[in-house]
Amino acid sequence: MNTPSILKQFGSLALFGAILAIAGCGGSGGGSSSVAGTGTLSLQITDAAVDSADHVYVQFSGLEIQSADGKRTTLYYCEDSMNPGNIIVSADACTTPPKSKQIDLLALNGGVVNPLLQSYTLPSGHYEWIRLMVDTAGTLDSYIVVSGTPYELTIPSGAQTGLKLNGGFDVPAGGGANFTVDFDLRKSVHLSNIGYMLRPTLRMVNNVMVGSISGTVDQLLVTAGCTPAVYVFAGSGVTPDDIDGIAADPVTSATVKLDNMGVYRYMAAFLEAGSYTIAYTCDAAADDPMVDNTLNAPPVNFSGTTTVSVTANTNTVHNF
């Protein structure tokens, strides 16, 4: 695959609400218990995968989080001086050279997650926003690998302001909040005249309110030259459309993969309970999120469009 071909794989859309919080200093940080006036927060990250990259690494150095009363906390990823090579989080700036948390987002699809925070104790109440601090100034900190060749990722304003994520959340007193952030690479990365750009499109969901859709795809539908995917749209009876920033864009998409039994399978995970329209396409590689493919060639064609219902904590099966 040559470099220009990946332009057809990626696009940029506005950042959608998501959250991230990280444990305190000294090793594991946080803690699993809470006292009066506090609760716990857990967070994990996943990805709606893309088709034509080997890896997409994003490196986080820390975050800022602001509560409804205006109190702001800064946390950092640091290397544990007592256990070199182990990454901890600290409320203090790193006293040793920081060892940021680098995640290969492309490895996190089909329900696979990377835990970012486990039962960290926070004051209960409402939180307004979070700012993720992302490393972009160095060499191979945040980068994409295409056909074995690494390319730096540029995150607009990332080095200066980080990724400010609006869309508040609540930490219940004496209870826990548990969220997943879906980092949708299919919508987030594109090739510009200055290189590969990352404009993150994030979807945050409450884990107690989500289910999934999975199933198989008949091998006869995976024809020569096919890049198979299943697109998931919010609501019933939606007419499927390509990713272009114009309604109806998919909530997420799922890559169709051949398992070790020779069966094509897909999974769209972390969907809030409700009705969804799903459709199969063989043209995922042709979907250029920078343009409306219904007006510009090549088109993105869909088949097998149907409505499915998602129930919390349940997997709904639909086979194409």
According to CATH, what is the number of the domain 211-312?
2.60.40
* Cβ-Cβ contacts under 8 Å for 290 (sequence gap 6 or more): 7, 11, 12, 190, 244
Q: Is the pLDDT of residue 3 over 60?
A: no
Q: What does the block give as tokens for 162?
A: 């980080």
Q: How far is the C-alpha of 70 from the C-alpha of 44, rounded, in Å?
A: 25
223-236 confidence digits (pLDDT tens): 999 999 999 999 99
176 vs 162, more confident: 176
Domain ranges of the chain: 3-209, 211-312
What are the backbone angles phi and psi of residue 302, rounded to the nearest 5°?
-120, 155
Q: Give the whole-angstrom CA distance, residue 6 versus residue 148.
A: 13
- What percent of the chain has pLDDT above 90? 32
Q: Is the pTM of this model over 0.85?
A: no
Instruction: State whether residue 161 is helix, strand or coil.
Output: helix
Place of tokens 């030259």: 225
pLDDT per position as a tens digit, 59-77: 888 878 789 999 887 888 8
Q: Looking at residue 280, what is its pLDDT?
A: 97
- Taking only the tens place, the pLDDT of each residue in 107-120 is 888 888 988 877 88
Q: Record the tokens describing residue 256, joined without a space.
A: 């169709």
pLDDT at residue 193 is higher than 70? yes
Q: What is the mean pLDDT of residues 28-35?
A: 45
To which residue do tokens 């509560």 refer? Answer: 67
Top mean-pLDDT range of 4-8, 23-27, 186-190, 204-208: 204-208
Band (pLDDT 50/70/90 cuts) for residue 182 is confident
**Residue 95 — very low, low, confident or very high, per pLDDT cuts 50/70/90?**
confident
